[in-house]
Structure 1
Amino acid sequence: MASKFDTRYPSIDDLRQRAKRKIPKFAFEYLDGGCNEDVNLHRNTSELREVQLKPKYIRDFNGSSLKTNLFGIEYDAPFGIAPVGLQGLIWPNSAEILAKAAFNHNIPFILSTVTTTSIERASEITEGKSWFQLYHPTESRLRDDIIKRAAAAECPVLVILCDVPTFGFRPRDIRNGLAMPPKMNLSNILQVFGRPHWGIETLKHGIPSFEVLKPYMPKGLDLKQLGKFMDETFSGRLNEEKIKPIRDMWKGKLVLKGVASEYDTEQAIRLGLDGIIVSNHGGRQLDAGESAIKPLSTIAEKYGDQIEVMMDSGVRSGPDVARALASGASFTFMGRSFMYGVSALGKKGGNHTISLLKTELQQVMEQLCCEKTTDFSKYLI
C-alpha cells in the first residue's frame, strides 16, 4: 500500500495533541500515562533518543527497502501494533480499525486478552494473520480454551506476558475511576459531554466490553463484580510450570513479552520459546526500572543468535524504530502511537499512522544510505 498520510498531522505528536482534544480526559490519561511519577515512561523515549546513527554517503546505493522477515513471514515494515487493553474505551471500535490497517499494510497486529474485540473477529479482519497476547488465567481449563480459540483462528504467533505480576500503581487511573473495579463518576460523565464525537461513536458501536473473555464471564456483572472476576480469573505471575504446558500445547511461534533482563532471556531460551519482546510495558508497571533500550543491546548481542529479539516501550516514531533496530532489535512494536492516530482521526487513523511511520523510516534509511533493515547496526555510533 502506498505510504500516503494526511499532511495536516505529519508527526505522532500532532496526532497526540489532536487525540487529547478528541477523547475524554479519563480515556486520554489511561492511554498517555505511566505509573507512579511517570519517570520510566519518559526515560523510555528519552534514553532511546540518545542512540545516534552515522550515515555513509560516498558509496554505491541501490535504494532502501522496509521489508523485514520475521518468523518466516515477510512484512512490509519492521514494526507492528502492540497489544493494548481497553482499546474501545480509548476510541470506539479502534481494535478493529487497527487490525484492518495492519492487514492493509502487511504488518503484525497483536490482540490483547483484555481488549475490546474477539480473537475470532480479529482473525476474520486480518485473514488469520493477527497475533494473540495471553494474560495467564488462574485455571488451566480457561487457559487451554483460549489457546485453542487462538489456534482455531489461525493466529501464527502467541505472545505470553511476564511483566504484570501485579497491576501497576497508576494515580491518574485511580483518580479517574479506571482502577479495578472501574467506576464512572460525575467528572467522567461531564468529560463525555465535552467530547460529542467520541460519545456518538460509542453509542454507535456500543459500550466497550472484554470480548475475548465474554464467553467466560457471568451475565449481568456490575462494575464491582467485574473487578472481582478479573482478580480471580487472571494471575500475571509466570513461572516454568505455567509456561511448559503452553509450549507443549501451542504449535505456532511462542513469544515472551516484557523481558527486561538476561535472566529472563535465558529462561525463555531454555523453555523453547521462539522470541522475546524486550519491554517494560510502556513504563506502566515499574517506575524504578530501566528503560527498554538499556537491556536491549546486551540481550541482542548475547542471545540474538539463539532467539528472536524484538522491542517495544518508548518507540514512538520512524527514527525511534531505526534506533531500536540499530541497537539490536530485529523488530519493533508500538502501542500509544497507533492509539493516538486512531483517537485523532477515527477510522482513517490506522492507515495514516502506519503510512507516516513508513515514510519517516524510509527517509532515515535513505539518508543513512542503508539498504536493508537488517543493516542498521552498521550505522550505530
Structure 2
Amino acid sequence: MALSYNTKYPAIEDLRNRAKKRIPKFAFEYLDGGCNEDINLNRNTEELREVQLKPEYLKSFKGCSMKTNLFGIEYDAPFGIAPVGLQGLMWPNSPEILAKAAFKHNIPFILSTVSTSSIERVSELTEGKAWFQLYHPSENSLRDDIIKRASQAECPVLVILCDVPTFGYRPRDIRNGLAMPPKMTISNILQVLGKPLWALNTLKHGQPNFETLKPYMPKGLDLKQLGKFMDQTFSGRLNEEKIKPIRDMWKGKLVLKGVASEADTEEAIRLGLDGIIVSNHGGRQLDAGEATIKPLKTIAESYGDKIEVMMDSGLRSGPDVARAMASGAKFTFMGRTFMYGAAALGNKGGDHTIAILKTQLQQVMEQLCCEKVTDFPNHLINN
C-alpha cells in the first residue's frame, strides 16, 4: 500500500497541537492528561527515549519488512491502536474512523468497554478482526453477556484490565465536570461554542454514549452518578477467582493489560493467558509508578519465551516503537497518538497517523540495517 500523509502535519506533535485547537478544552484535557501531577505520564516517554539503538552501515541489506506475526495473525506493522475510553467525546465518530483505518492498514484495533461505539459495529467495520478490552463487571451475568457478544462478533483477542482497581485521580476531569454527556457548565458551553466544527460533527453523529454498555445502564448520568454506576457495575481488581472463569469461557486469545511486575507476569502465565501488555494505563492511574519501559525490559528477558509480551504507554512515534521492540516487546500499542490524529484531521486522521508511523519506522529500520522487526533487539545499546 502506498503511504501518503498530509505534509502540513508530519509529526505527532503537529497533530496534538492541531487537536488542541479543534476540540473543547474539557475533551482535550481528558485525552492529554494523566493523573495527579502527570509525573508518570511524562516519565513514560522521557525514559523510553533514553533507549539508544546501534546502526550497521556497511552490512549487507536486502530491504526491510514491518510484517509481524502475533497470535497466528500476520499484521503489516508491529503496532496497533490501544483501547481509549470516551473516544467520541474527543472527536465525534473517532472509534469508527480509527477502526476503519486499522482494518485498511492491517493492524489491530482494540475497542474499550467504555468507548463510544459498540462491539457489534466495530466488528462489522473490521470484518471481525478488532480486539475487545473488558472492564471486569461485578455481576457474572453481565460479564458473561459481554463476553458472549465479543465472541459472536468474532473478536480474535479479548483483553482484560488489571490496572484499574480504582479510577485514577484526575484533577482536570474533576474541575471540568466530565460526564457522558459532559456537564454543561458556563465554561464548558463557551468551550463548545468556540469549537464549531466539533459541535457540528457532534450534532451529525449524535451525542456520544457508552454504546457497548447502553443496554445495561440508566440514561442521563452526571459525573457523580456515572462514577457510582461504574463502581457498582465494574470490579476492577482482578485475581485468580475472576480470571479463571473468563479463561474457561473465552476460546480465543486472552491478554492481560496493565502488567507492571514480574510477579503479575508469572501469575498470568500460570493462569493460562496467551499474552500480556506491559502498561501503566498511559500514566493515568499511578503517578508514583515506573515508566513502562523499565518493567518491560526485565519481563521480556525473563518471560518472553513463555508468553507474548507487548507494551503500551508513552509511545508517540515510529522511533519509539523501535525502542520498545529493541527492549523486548513483541508488539506495541498507542492510544493518545491515534486520538490526536482523529481529532486533528477527522476522517483522514487514522490513515494519516498510521502512514506517519509506518514511514518513520521504515526509516529507522533502513538506518539500522534491520531487515525484520524481530531483529530490533540486535541493535539495542545496553547502557
TM range (shorter): over 0.9
SS in 1 for 2:333: strand
Question: Judging changes above 3 Å, is the alpha-carbon distance between structure 1 residues 183 and 32 closer, same or farther for their aligned structure 2 residues?
Answer: same
1:319 maps to which residue?
Answer: 319
TM-score between the two structures when normalised by the length of structure 1: 0.98
The one-letter amino acid paired with 2:125 is I
Q: Could you tell me how far 1:215 is from its partner in structure 2?
A: 1.1
What displacement does 1:218 show?
Answer: 3.2
1:357 alignment partner, SS class = helix
Q: For residue 364 of structure 2, what is the aligned residue in structure 1?
A: 364
Letter matched to residue 113 of structure 1: T
Partner of 2:82: 82
CA distance in 1 between counterparts of 2:229 and 2:201 reads 28
For residues 228-271 of structure 1, the C-alpha deviation after alignment (integer angstroms, 9 at most, x for no partner) is: 22221011110100000000000000000000000100000000
Label 1:174 to 1:226 Cα distance change in 2 as closer, same or farther (>3 A): closer
Partner SS, residue 52 of structure 2: coil
Aligned match of 2:92: 92
Q: 1:280 and 2:284 equivalent?
A: no
Tell me the distance in 2 between the aligned counterparts of 1:233 and 1:184. Answer: 25
TM superposition outliers: structure 1 runs of 4+ over 3 Å: 179-182, 218-227
How has the CA–CA distance of structure 1 residues 63 and 360 changed in structure 2, closer, same or farther, with 3 Å as cutoff? Answer: same
Residue matched to 1:242: 242
Structure 2 letter corresponding to 1:212: T
Distance in 1, matches of 2:225 and 2:258, equals: 29
User: Could you tell me the TM-score, scaled by structure 2's length?
Assistant: 0.98
Could you tell me the percent identity over the aligned residues? 82
Matches of 2:225 and 2:34 in 1, distance apart?
Answer: 26
Quick check: 107-116 or 219-228, which moved more?
Answer: 219-228
- In the comparison of the two structures, how many residue pairs are matched? 381
Equivalent in the alignment of 1:376:
376
Comparing 212-221 with 49-58, greater Cα deviation is found at 212-221
> Which residue of 2 is the match for residue 108 of structure 1?
108
**For 1:153-190, what per-residue CA distance to the aligned partner results, in whole angstroms no more than 9, with x for missing partners?**
00000000000000100111111112699633111110
| Residue of structure 2 equivalent to 1:119 | 119
Residues 1:304 and 2:304 are matched in the alignment: yes
In 1, are the aligned partners of 2:32 and 2:336 still within 8 Å (CA)? yes
Within 2, Cα distance between the matches of 1:106 and 1:252? 19
Residues 182 and 227 in structure 1, CA contact (< 8 A), matched pair in contact too: no
Distance in 2, matches of 1:220 and 1:40, equals 33
- Using the TM superposition, name which of 171-180 and 152-161 deviates more: 171-180
SS at match of 2:351: helix
1:57 Cα deviation from its structure 2 partner: 1.2
Distance, in Å, in 2 between the alignment partners of 1:13 and 1:220 is: 35
Please give the alpha-carbon distance, in whole angstroms, between the structure 2 residues aligned to 1:148 and 1:213.
14
Number of the residue aligned with 1:233? 233
Unaligned 5+ residue runs, structure 1?
A: none
How far apart are the structure 2 equivalents of 1:307 and 1:331? 12
Amino acid at match of 2:120: E
Q: Give the partner amino acid of 2:235.
A: S
Which residue of structure 1 lines up, in the alignment, with residue 148 of structure 2? 148
Contact 1:181 1:226 survives alignment (8 Å): no
Partner of 2:53, secondary structure, is: coil
Q: Is the 8 A contact 2:26 2:173 kept in 1?
A: yes
Opposite residue 283 of structure 1, the aligned amino acid is G
Q: Which runs of 5+ in 2 are unaligned?
A: none
Does structure 2 conserve the Cα–Cα contact (< 8 Å) formed by 1:256 and 1:273? yes
Measured at CA, do residues 156 and 227 of structure 1 come closer, stay the same or move farther in structure 2, by a change above 3 Å?
same
**Retained in 2: the 8 A contact 1:75–1:106?**
yes
Tell me whether 1:190 sits opposite 2:190 in the alignment.
yes
What is the aligned partner in structure 1 of residue 349 from structure 2? Answer: 349
- Find the aligned partners of 1:168 and 1:230 in 2 and give their Cα distance: 13
SS at match of 1:338: helix
Partner in structure 2 of residue 7 of structure 1: 7
Partners of 2:181 and 2:220 within 8 A in 1 = no
Please say if residues 180 and 227 of structure 1, whose CA atoms lie closer than 8 Å, have aligned partners that are also in contact: no
| In structure 1, C-alpha distance between the alignment counterparts of 2:225 and 2:281, rounded to whole Å | 26
Task: Find the aligned partners of 2:242 and 2:2 in 1 and give their Cα distance.
Answer: 43
CA RMSD of aligned residues (A): 1.2
Aligned twin of 1:17:
17
Deviations 1:322-354 (A, max 9, x none): 000000000000000000000000000000000
Tell me how far 1:226 sits from its aligned partner: 3.3
